[in-house]
Amino acid sequence: MPELPEVETMRRGVASACGQRIVRLRWTRCALRPLAVRPNRRTIGSRVAGRRIVQVVRKGKFLALVLDDDSALVLHPRMTGLVLVEAPPDREHLRLELQLEGPGPRRLLFWDRRGLGTVEWHPPGSWRQALGPPRLGPDALEVSWQQLRDRFHSSRRAIKVALLDQARVAGLGNLYAAEVLFVARIDPRRPCCRLCDAQWRRLHRAMGRVLREAIRYEGSTLGDGTYRTALNRPGNYQNRHRVYGKAGRPCPRCRTPIARIVQQSRSTFFCPECQRD
């Protein structure tokens, strides 16, 4: 589930690891589904040991620990991954531990309940390209409204579906796409090619507003309780959701019952009255 606000919250939470030296990378014993690791565990361990973390960078939904030789350890939480500096929710799903030395936290942990996350090491100077085109489009907090329009306007896909394409714009997932479209008053079923400039501007403003607000409240911890901050605390933005997960409840603007539809096997929540554009 972690989307841009959750990964940005993780980034801020582990930023205190900057300046720390990685003493050892330890892959913990886990009988569950293993993480996807590239190139391989042995190579990653040998390349990062002894290196100092100089920067923690977020690109879309990816978190990069940039090292002092300009290589990077890139973590992708995907559905249930967490990056922590405090004790994890449990030991059973702990996947990776970086033992650190220096004035900050003593360890950095990667925990993943479902094992869908990935760990990648990129050689010096290559991580920026690896986390850019064609894999990732511009960040949802950095893209201009013109870029947003130009990257989508020729597509016949429904706008909600299109916004999930990380190669077009990076960071949005199912939850925040629904919230952004509600704030922008745009029907999630509308084809991208049928949006006018005024709607693209509204969408861009709504994207910045929703994402920054969600970061301020440290992300959304849903009913399963999986998402936690780097300090193993729940987020608070779930208490401010407008439409996500609220099918049948009154719209916060017009009191019309929130509708739920399925788009490409994912639930979409919207107001049939407010979101007619």
133: left (phi over 0), alpha (psi -120 to 50) or beta: beta
107: annotated active-site residue:
no
Q: Of 3, 6, 8, 120, which is the active-site residue?
A: 3
- Please give the biggest Cα pair distance in the chain: 58
CB 62 within 8 A of CB 131: yes
Q: Of 191, 234, 266, 272, which is the active-site residue?
A: 266
DSSP letter, residue 117: -
Task: List, in sequence order, every residue forming a beta bridge with 83; answer none if it has no partner.
Answer: 110
Q: How far apart are CA 153 and CA 167, in angstroms?
A: 15
266: annotated active-site residue:
yes
CB 21 within 8 A of CB 40: no
Q: How far apart are CA 242 and CA 178, in angstroms?
A: 9
Q: Of 2, 77, 138, 188, which is the active-site residue?
A: 2
Q: Of 51, 61, 78, 95, which is the active-site residue?
A: 61
Angle between helices 197-216 and 4-14 (to 10 degrees): 40
Angle between helices 197-216 and 174-184 (to 10 degrees): 120
- Token readout for 181 is 């479209």
**Helix (H, G, I), strand (E, B), or coil: what is residue 124?**
coil
Active site residues: 2-3, 61, 266
